[in-house]
Structure 1
Amino acid sequence: MSSNDIIVSLDIGTSKVRAIIGELNNGSINIVGVGSADSQGIRKGAIVDIDQTVQSIRNAVDHAERMVSIEISSVYVGITGNHIGLQSSHGVVAVSNEDREIGFEDIDRVLQAAKVIALPPERDIIGIVPKQFLVDGLEGIHDPHGMIGVRLEVEATIITGAKTAVHNLLRCVEKAGLQVSGLVLSSLAASQIALSKDEKTMGTALVDIGAGATTIAIFENGNIVATSTLPIGGEYITNDISIGLRTQTEMAEMIKLKYGCALIEHAEPDQLFKVPRIGSNSEKEFSQTDLSNIIEPRVVEIFQLVQAEVARIGGKELAGGYVLTGGSVVMPGMLAAAQQVLQTSVRIAVPDFIGVRDPSFTNGVGIIQYASRSSRKGMPSAGAAPAAKSVLKKSSPKKSGFVDKVKNWFSEFI
C-alpha cells in the first residue's frame, strides 16, 4: 500500500467515534481500515469533556491502525451541531495570467476574496462551497480552470461555526496526537454518497439521525441551502425503554439493538425476551410488541419534529423527499414509520463499500469521498478548513517489534 494514497476520516459522534482509512486507487476509493470506539465526553453531539473525548479518539485510531499496520498522522474531521450557519457571499478577481487562462491560483484567490465577510467575533469560517463561477459575466460554470477570461467571479456559501465549538474540536484531535488536515461539514460530506445528482437538484432533505442529535440538511439546485440540528436521537428511545421496562440503560440499549421495532404493526408478539429489573433479582418477560409500544411514540415524535424543522428552514416542497442516514435508522420499521409521518418519498442511504455497509458510516466515508474529489479537481479543499496543501498525508509503517506485539496481544483482553 502506497503511503501517499491514504485519506483518514474521523467522525466524532455521541455514541461512537469512528476512524476510517480510505485508499485511493486510480480515482476510486477502497475502505481498507475501520476503527470504532465508544464515545465518552460527548453529549447531544457536543464536546463536554476534553480528556474523555481525546481518549475515545485515541481508541478509535488505535483500532484502525491495528487493522492495516500503519501509523495515522493526520485526519479529516467531520463537524456538525446547531452552531453551524450558512451565509451567501460573492468574490471577484482579475485573471492574473498574461494569456488570460484561468489557473488554480486564480480560483484560490477568488475563493479567498469570497471569504472576506463581516463576522461576529465569536464565529469562525469553517469552509466555503462554490455555488457557481462566472467568467466575464457567463454564468453556470462549475470548474473555470483552463477557460479564457479577464474577470473571474464566484457565488459561494460560507460555512461558519461557533469559535468555541470549533476550537474545542480541534484541540481534542490535536491532543490525541493527530494533525487536522481539514474540517468538513458532516452533512455536506454525507451528501457525496447519500444523494444523487438529481436529488440535490430537485430538492431533498438529508436527515442524519444519530444517538444524541438529528442533523437536517436541505439541498436544492445542486447546493446545500439550509442546515439545522435537533437535540434528539436514538438515546431518547433507549431512555424510554429503560424507564418503560425498568432496567439499566446499557441493557435497554442492547434490547433496542436486538429486538427493537419502530412500528407496532411490524412487531412480532411471539418474539419474547427476558429483562433484568432494577431493584429486583428477578427477570420479567416481554414481547417485541410490548417493546414497540414504547418505541413507536418516540420515533413518530422524532419524524414530526424533523418535518416541522424542515418547513421552518425553508424546505416546504421537496420533490426529492427525504433521505435518512445515521446509526438510528437501521432499526426495523424506521423507514415505514418515516413514510407514514412524512407522507412523501423516503429512503435510507447506505455506503456501498465493503466493511462499511451501514448508515452509521455514511459521514465517515463521505468525508473521504469529499476530500478525494477536491484533490482530483486540483482545487483547494473548498469545504474544508484549514485548507490542506495536499489531501494525502504520509503515513509511515507502524513498527511492530516483539514488545509492541505483546502489548497489542494483552490489549485485546484488557
Structure 2
Amino acid sequence: MGNNDVIVSLDIGTSKVRVIIGEMNKGSLNIIGVGTADSVGIKKGAIVDIDQTVQSIRQAVDHAERMVGITIEDVYVGISGNHIELEVGHGIVAVSSEDREIGDVDIDRVIQASKVIPLTPDREIIDVVPKQFMVDGLNNINDPSGMIGIRLEVETTIITGAKTIIHNLVRTIEKAGLKIAGFILMPLATSQVALSKDEMNLGVALIDMGEGVTTISVYEQGGLAKMSVLPIGGEYITNDISIGLRTQLDIAERVKIKYGIASIEEASEDVRFKVARIGSNVEKEFSQKDIAYIIEPRVREMFELVQQEIYRMGYTNELAGGYVLTGGVVAMNGILSIAQEEFRSSVRISMPDYIGVRDPSYTSGVGLILYASKRFKKTSSQVKQAVSTAPSKQSTRKSKGVSPFERVKNWFSEFI
C-alpha cells in the first residue's frame, strides 16, 4: 500500500454497528473518523433481519462520513461465528523464473495450491493465512520473496464459513450501498491490536467479550491455532439486572453502563441511584453494591464457561502468555480482578491506543484496518471527497448491479 491510504472497517456487532475510517501514512495509522449506531436486526452476532441491519449500517456510515466529510465506498468487513472452521493447508510448487528467484507470482501460486482441500457444497473459503514458507526444505520462512530456490512450499490455515451466512452478509452490506473490499476473520483482526508477537509465540488465549457472543481464540507459534464462539455476552448481565431490579431492559442497560461493577469487594455503598420498576409508578433506590451482587456471579460463570471451552479445545495446561481480554464487556470496572481470580494466571485488558477509540469495544474495528493495511497490497480508492450539495446518502445509495454470489467468487480469487 502506498502512503496516505484511507481504509474503512465495518464491525457489525450485537449491540452496535461501528464504522472506523483510518488513514495509513508511512506505516502509521491515524483514526480520522468513527461512526456508531445501535444494532437492530442482529442476534448473537448473526443477522436475523436484513432490512433493519441495513438501516443500522447506513446510520453508522453516515455518522462517520459527516465527521470527516467524505463518501465511503468500500469497507473491510469482520466475520466470525460458530460457522467458521479452521483447516490445515499445504502447497508445493516449482519456482518458475529462470534465475530461480522467488517472486510474487510464485508465492501466489503456492498459496493457491494449498487451497486444494475437500469442502462440502455448503461451505466456502473465506481466507488463507500462510503460517510458514519452506524453500528447498528450509522452513520457518515468513516471506520468501527475493530468495533463490527450486522448490517452494507453504503451510497455511484455511478459514472456511457457511455459504448461506456469507451470502446473507454480502446482501445486507450491498443493500446498504457499500462494496466489500474483503472479508477478514475477526480474531485475526483483533490480534493486531490486542496481542504482541511474544504472546503469540509463547501461547495466549484472546477472549473477545461482546454483547451477544464471546469469541475465544488461541495463538501458538505466532499464529492462530484454534477458535471457538460461545453464545454468552453482556446481554446476560443486562437481563440479570433487569430481573434483579424488576425494571425494563433499556433501563437495566443504562444502569449497567453507568453504575455497573463486576466485583462486590470494589463496589461502593455510597454510589446510589433510583430505578423505575415494572408495574409501579414509584422509583426505588439501589446502591452500586446491590448491582455488584447481581453482576459478579454472572461474570464468574462466564469466565468459568470460557475456561471449560479452552480445556475442551485441548489446552489443559496453563498458557505461557496467559489471557488477554477485550470487547465491550471488559470495559466494566472490576472485570480484571475477577478474571485473575478465575483464570489464576496472568490476565490483562487490551484496547486501541488511538484518539477517539480508546475503549475495548473498538479493538476489532481498529484491528480490521491494521490487518487490511498489512495483508491486502492492492486496494481501490475507498473514499472520495463529498460534494457539499450532494443529497443524503440514505436516499441516493444504490446496490451495484453485480449479484452477491458472483462477487463472493471474485473476492476469494482476488484477495487470497
| Equivalence map 1:207-218=2 (5 Å) | 207-218=207-218
Question: CA separation of 1:3/1:74 partners in 2, compared to 1, >3 Å: closer, same or farther?
Answer: farther
Tell me: CA distance 1:402–1:193, structure 2 relative to 1, closer, same or farther (3 Å): closer
Is 1:326 aligned to 2:327, yes or no? yes
CA deviation after TM superposition for structure 1 residue 280, in Å: 0.7
Q: Identity over the aligned pairs, expressed in percent?
A: 65
Displacement, 1:125?
0.7
C-alpha separation in 2, matches of 1:135 and 1:328: 45
Matched, 1:374 2:362: no
User: C-alpha deviations, 1:358-405, integer Å up to 9, x for none?
Assistant: 100000000100011124xx5xxxxxxxxxxx2352411111128769
Task: Tell me, yes or no, if the aligned pair for 2:268 and 2:289 is still in contact at 8 Å.
Answer: yes
Maintained 8 Å contact 2:3/2:24: no
8 Å contact from structure 1 (residues 326, 360) kept in 2: yes
Q: How does 1:333-352 map to 2 (within 5 A)?
A: 333-352=334-353
Counterparts of 2:46 and 2:381, CA distance in 1: 28
After superposition, where does 1:42-61 map in structure 2 within 5 Å? Answer: 42-61=42-61
Letter in 2 for 1:273: F
Letter in 1 for 2:368: I
1:300, 1:289 → 2: CA distance?
Answer: 16
- For normalisation by structure 1, the TM-score amounts to 0.92
> Partner of 1:18: helix, strand, or coil?
strand
1:4 touches 1:395 (CA, 8 Å); kept in 2?
A: no
Q: Partner residue of 2:71? A: 71
1:171-229 Cα shifts (integer Å, max 9, x gaps): 11111111111000011111011000000000000000000000000000001000000
Corresponding residue for residue 149 of structure 1: 149
Structure 1 residue 270, shift from structure 2 partner: 1.3
Per-residue CA deviation, residues 49-81 of structure 1 (Å, 9 max, x unaligned), is: 111111111111111111111111000000011
Unaligned runs of 5+ in 1: 379-389, 408-414
How far 1:4 moved relative to its partner?
Answer: 6.4
What is the rounded CA distance, in whole Å, between the counterparts of 1:179 and 1:151 in structure 2? 38
Structure 1 counterpart of 2:362 = 361
Q: In the aligned structure 2, how far is the partner of 1:355 from the partner of 1:159?
A: 32
Q: Give the Å deviation of 1:287.
A: 0.7
2-structure distance, mates of 1:296, 1:252: 15
- For 1:87 and 1:302, the matched residues in 2 are separated by 28
Distance 1:353 1:150 in 2: 45
Structure 2 counterpart of 1:201, which letter?
Answer: N
Tell me the equivalent position of 2:99.
Answer: 99
Equivalent residue runs for 1:32-181 within 5 Å:
32-181=32-181
The answer for the alignment partner of 2:251 in structure 1 is 251
CA distance in 1: counterparts of 2:254 and 2:93, whole angstroms? 57
Q: Is contact 1:7-1:391 (8 Å) kept?
A: no
CA distance in 2, matches of 1:402, 1:103: 45
Query: Could you tell me how far 1:157 is from its partner in structure 2?
Result: 0.5
Q: Distance in 1 between matches of 2:382 and 2:12?
A: 22
Cα deviations by residue, 1:333-357 (Å, 9 ceiling, x for unpaired): 0000101111111000011111111
Question: How far off its partner does 1:3 sit?
Answer: 10
User: Hey, what's the Cα distance between the residues in 2 that align with 1:30 and 1:4?
Assistant: 10
In structure 2, the residue matched to 1:27 is 27
| Secondary structure of 1:318's aligned partner | coil
Q: 1:397 aligns with which of 385, 389, 398?
A: 385
Residues 403, 48 of structure 1: CA spacing in aligned structure 2 closer, same or farther, 3 A cutoff?
A: closer
Question: Which residue number corresponds to residue 265 of structure 2?
Answer: 265
Other-structure match for 2:12: 12
Report deviation, 1:163.
Answer: 1.2
CA distance in 1, matches of 2:73, 2:41: 23
CA distance in 2 between counterparts of 1:403 and 1:104 reads 43
Contact 1:4 1:392 in 2 (8 A): no
Q: Deviations over 1:93-150 (max 9, x none)?
A: 1111111111111111111111111011111111011110001111010000001111
Corresponding letter in the other structure for 1:399: V
**CA distance 1:86–1:403, change in 2 (3 Å):** closer
Return the alpha-carbon distance in structure 1 between the equivalents of residues 3 and 384 of structure 2. 7
Amino acid corresponding to residue 361 of structure 1 in structure 2: Y
Gaps of 5+ in 2: 396-416
Give distance in 2, aligned partners of 1:403 and 1:396.
15
Structure 1 residue 315, shift from structure 2 partner? 2.5
Q: Does the CA contact (< 8 Å) of 1:204 and 1:220 recur in 2?
A: yes
Contact 2:19 2:64 in 1 (8 A): yes
Contact 2:3 2:26 in 1 (8 A): no
Q: Which amino acid aligns with 1:234?
A: G
The 8 Å contact of residues 58 and 176 in structure 2, kept in 1 or not, is answered as yes
Whether contact under 8 Å (1:135, 1:151) holds in the other structure is: yes
Q: Is the 8 A contact 1:33 1:67 kept in 2?
A: yes
1:7–1:300 Cα change, 3 Å: same
Secondary structure of the structure 2 residue equivalent to 1:264: coil
**Aligned amino acid, residue 372 of structure 1:** S
Which SS does the other structure have where 1:65 is aligned?
helix
Between the aligned partners of 2:13 and 2:142, the Cα distance in structure 1 is 32
> CA distance change for structure 1 residues 70 and 238 in 2, over 3 Å: closer, same or farther?
same
CA distance in 2, matches of 1:139, 1:337: 42
Say if 1:5 and 1:392, in contact at 8 Å, map to a contact too. no
